[in-house]
Copies of this chain bind each other. A is one copy, B any other.
């Protein structure tokens, strides 16, 4: 099973009777050669099955045409959208996407950035776990773009964030329209940047709407966090519960069902993310959808653009998906 020797640019040049430089230009700088010559070279290249060697290309040009996407946990469906979007944007631009799983660890994240930094033209970090300083340092050494995190005061590191302000307002408006006059937020880990934004948004929106908002937690942002969170919410007399994310929300739903609490009749539950499964859990979850696919694509596009001196923060809209887990206050 010998791997056939690869066809190099020299082979093409020889076969076409031109110099390698001409072949190179015919392929990557079409205006630089005569149309006839180019046709001929392209023909020969196609006939020989020539595929440029990316490493060699990277060596001389300095660009690898490869981008990296780092996520805290690949299996978390929340990130599947971002991965898909990034892959789509990269593929559309003829770029390659490499994927890294940081295992929710700031250390692993830093390691990956250092290791991949040399191999790619830019790195997208989704929901970064590192500190602002970590990220600023990384941003100084590599092209970086962030998803759901901003780096205030650090120019040159663009980011894409979900519009939590508008989103949380939608949540509050929805609950208010159902007759609720207070909500309980079941928070996730304190370090979570998006968690902080979600709570800040909820609090502001609640205050604007004249209803009360309380925060409990932190809880594990997973199914396993559900029981503790649900019990605490019930103990606090909650009628409207907003959860840090859908995983927790679904965990809460299960606990409520186990305890015989009717949703949405006795208690309303809202999640964040519109994660895969949010529509087929029982009852189907009302949740704030984030268009993570657009966010992923957008982050890659930010890196494809020439670096902008001023750090951009693209805001992607969010939408409340009203399903069956929210209802009129009892």
Contacts and interface: CB of A to CB of B under 8 A. Distances in A.
A153 interface: no
Contacts of A118: 6, 51-54
A147 interface: no
Interface in A126-161: 139-143, 155-156
State how many copies of this chain the complex holds.
2
A172 B101 CA distance: 38
Contact of A99 (B58, B59, B83, B119): B83
Contact of A1 (B3, B55, B64, B307): B307
A282 interface: yes
A242 B143 CA distance: 49
A193 interface: no
A321 to B, nearest CB: 15
A100 interface: yes
Nearest to A114: B51
Interface of A: 1, 3-4, 6, 51-56, 58-59, 64, 66, 74-75, 77, 80-81, 83-84, 87-88, 91, 96-101, 114-119, 139-143, 155-156, 223, 250, 254, 276-277, 280-282, 293, 307, 309
